[in-house]
Structure 1
Amino acid sequence: MPELPEVEAVRVGLARHVVGRTVTAVEVFDPRPLRRQEGGAEAFVRGLTGRTLTAAVRRGKLMWLPLDDGAALRAHLGMSGQLLVRGTAPLDGPDPDPNPSRYLLEPGQTPADLTATRATSLVRDLSARPRHLRVRLHLSGREGDPQHQAAGAGGAPGSGGAALDLVDQRMFGGLHLTRLVPTADGGPGGLGSEQPLLPEDATHIARDLLDPHLDRAAVVARVRASSRAVKTLLMDQSIVSGVGNIYADEGLWAARIHGLRPGNALGPRVLARLLDATAGIMGRALAVGGTSFDALYVDAEGAAGFFARSLAVYGRQGEVCRRCGTPLRTETIGGRSHTSCPRCQTRPRPRRLPH
């Protein structure tokens, strides 16, 4: 599934292209992605039509678009879901968040401009009715939009050709409308809005490693209070969100920690190093659009990320460690694969059972 950098790449694109637009019509080509919607497809269409998208917000791997009536459109990308814009021109001015890795810098440091490393080609199907199109939101036009009418059920009057498509091959993703509720700590719900609100069905999702409001000391304390494997804890979205299998393996390798080590066997400095390393890797991945595989994880404009070429361990089992040259090994932890270096990441000894 897409992790924080991949979802953030989508969020930035939505902030540039669709925020401030009104949904003029909704076409549902397949109702299955709306399975979480109370009232089904009819309620979804009724609740969205005429509403204005006021922001694009992300917490961890969770993303939502607040509406002008106080509700929100929550998006789940699943294994292969894509939110793709068409027929739009972005808002004038700089990107809303051109370098989110600024959160990893010391005060006064200037972030490097890595935009030249981004892809120049698009990987998506640019036809009027792309394969696996499930839902299309027709959007109000604005100055600078291409002057062509979006197709699909004849287009939508007044849409100006602007649209937001949910394209999903494997059907694990989806959309639904939900209420927004206050955050428990009073801070902003996520990156993209200062409003202290988040979807009511996502209150269990913790803040992520790129969130300046994250209480890192509390994260360390929760990890140290558990005997579970540290990789499992790092991927627990109720402790810290946004980390999946890719960046857990990468962060553990960077911090020289084996994923089987129990949380209560690690000191606070070691865990702080792990969190810093994982955040740094996600920041660097985000700067180049994230990690894309099989043209699935793309941003809102269809561009693939380029961090896959920089992965140190994930997907490289049998290849040599980039640090010491030892062949990498893969095992299973908590039902998920874990690739590590047997030399750099010492595997913990099996616990002895009492006699």
Structure 2
Amino acid sequence: MPELPEVEVVRRGLAPHVIGRTIAEVEVLEPRAARRHAGGPADLVDQLRGVRVAALVRRGKFLWWRLEDAGGEDLGVALMTHLGMSGQLRVRGADAQSDAASSDAVAASSGPRPDPLRHRRITLRLDDGTLVDFIDQRIFGGLWTSPLVTASDGQAAGMGGDDALLPADAAHIGRDLLDPAIDLEAVAARIRARSASVKSLLLNQEIASGIGNIYADEGLWEARVRYDTPGSRVSRARTLALLEATAAVMRRALEVGGTSFDALYVNVDGRSGYFARSLSAYGREGEPCPRCGTAIRRVSFMNRSSHFCPACQRKRS
């Protein structure tokens, strides 16, 4: 599943193509990709046709398009986008591919370009002829509209936004670790107040959003914290170090276009990210720990895999 760095790479790559543009037409090829829209696919088409994209904002793994009418009035709703397990947003058009490939947001990515039309579910045609395709092999993601509400702390709602308005469907998730408005002390306190495993708490989107299995394992390895340690057993200093380490890992991933293991995650120009080459624990079962040389182990945990170094991340009594 694309995590925070991957969704942010998509936001940065997509923004120059869509902000300030009007959605001229919408084509829904797979109704399941619009299943979260209350009025169904036909209503989604009607709501989006002729509206202008004022901003592209992200919090955690949620991406939303701020919408306004032709006169510049905010419509009070946002177009929500969630990539699910395999979703992509791809840009097509006479100049779209070359523009995306040359932008700073995607210049560091590489790899093969998968078929851009396979598994196409929804296409937005903009007034300049640019096409934005929502591609989703497994159809766990989708597009839908959600009314805007005010963030509880009154600060800018997410990356790319300049006010406190965010979609109601994203209001329940916490700020992410790359958000300038996040209160790390408060996040650390919430983790330390729980007896659940620290990894499960990192994955809890209501505490801090955007962290998935890859970056949880990498952050835990960086901070030398074992995945199954109860949150209440981690000191304040170590919890803050864990959050800062996880944020640092995600920043490094963002610099190289995110993490790609297959064609299910690519940037808006169809390129894969480089960060899989830099992972220290995730996906490295049996390989030597980059820090101490002990073989990385993989165990089943919470219906997923956890990768860790048994020497660097010892179980604490």
Provide the TM-score with structure 1 as the length reference. Answer: 0.83
Deviation at 1:169, TM superposition (A): 0.8
The answer to whether the aligner puts 1:79 opposite 2:85 as a matched pair is yes
Tell me, in whole angstroms, the C-alpha distance in 1 between the residues paired with 2:43 and 2:26: 11
Give 1 or 2: higher strand fraction: 2
Aligned CA-pair RMSD:
1.9
Q: Distance in 1 between matches of 2:161 and 2:216?
A: 27
Distance in 1 separating the partners of 2:283 and 2:83:
21
CA contact (8 A) 1:220 1:272 kept: yes
Query: Which residue of 202, 219, 226 maps to 2:194?
Result: 226
- Residue in 2 that maps onto 1:138: 125
Give, in angstroms, the shift of residue 283 of structure 1: 0.1
Residue 319 of structure 1 and its aligned partner are, at CA, apart by 1.4
Sort the Cα spacing of 1:287 and 1:280 in 2 relative to 1 into closer, same or farther, 3 A: same
Shift, 1:263, TM fit? 0.7
Match of 1:125 among 103, 115, 134: 115
Q: Is the CA contact (8 Å cut-off) linking 1:81 and 1:169 kept in structure 2?
A: yes
**What does residue range 148-163 of structure 1 map to in structure 2 within 5 Å?**
160=129, 162-163=130-131
Deviations 1:77-120 (A, max 9, x none): 01111111111657xx9x9x958xxxxxxxxxxxxxxx87432x
Task: Please state how far the C-alpha of 1:348 moved relative to its aligned partner.
Answer: 3.5
Number of aligned residues? 308
Structure 1 residue 299 displacement after superposition: 1.4
TM-score relative to the length of structure 2: 0.93
SS in 1 for 2:54: coil
For the residues of structure 2 that align with 1:222 and 1:73, how far apart are their CA atoms? 31
Give the CA deviation at 1:336: 2.5
AA aligned opposite 1:137: L
Alignment counterpart, residue 171 of structure 1, candidates 135, 139, 150: 139
Aligned-partner residue type, residue 195 of structure 1: D
Task: State whether residues 86 and 137 of structure 2, in contact with CA within 8 Å, keep that contact through their aligned partners in structure 1.
Answer: yes
C-alpha distance in 2 between matches for 1:53 and 1:89: 19
1:330 is displaced (CA, Å) by: 1.4
- Which residue does 2:244 correspond to in 1? 276
- 1:263-299 CA-to-partner distances (Å, cap 9, x unmatched) read 1111111011101110000000000000012121111
User: Which of 272, 275, 278 lines up with 1:307 in the alignment?
Assistant: 275
Asked if 2 retains the 8 angstrom alpha-carbon contact of 1:88 and 1:163, the reply is: no
Give the letter aligned to residue 195 of structure 2: S
| Corresponding residue number in structure 1 for 2:71 | none
Matched with 2:44 is 44
In structure 2, the residue matched to 1:215 is 183
- Bigger-Rg structure (1/2): 1
Deviation at 1:211, TM superposition (A): 0.5
Asked whether the 8 Å contact 2:108–2:257 carries over to 1, the reply is no
**Is the deviation greater in 80-89 or in 48-57?**
80-89
Q: Distance in 2 between matches of 1:329 and 1:131?
A: 36
Question: Within the alignment, does 1:255 sit opposite 2:261 as a pair?
Answer: no
Alignment-mate amino acid for residue 226 of structure 2: H
C-alpha spacing 1:211/1:98, structure 2 compared with 1 (3 Å): farther
Task: Return the letter of the residue paired with 1:342.
Answer: P
* Aligned position for 2:72: none
Alpha-carbon distance between aligned partners in 1 of 2:146 and 2:119, rounded to the nearest angstrom? 25
**Structure 1 residue ranges, 4+ long, deviating more than 2 angstroms after superposition:** 115-119, 332-336
Show structure 1 runs of 5+ residues with no match: 100-114, 142-159, 350-355
Percent identity over paired residues: 52
2:305 matched to 1:337?
yes
**Conservation of the 8 A alpha-carbon contact between 1:59 and 1:241:** yes
Distance 2:263 2:175 in 1: 28
Q: Distance in 2 between matches of 1:88 and 1:47?
A: 27
Equivalents in 2 of 1:322, 1:3: separation in Å? 23
Segments of structure 2 that go 5 or more residues without pairing to the other structure are: 69-74
Query: Which residue identity is paired with 1:73?
Result: L
Distance 1:265 1:214 in 2: 23
Q: Is the 8 A contact 1:17 1:89 kept in 2?
A: no
Cα distance in 2 between the residues matched to 1:214 and 1:329: 32
Q: Does 1:186 align with 2:177?
A: no
Conserved 8 A contact 2:25-2:124 = yes
Report if the CA contact (8 A) 1:256-1:345 is conserved: yes
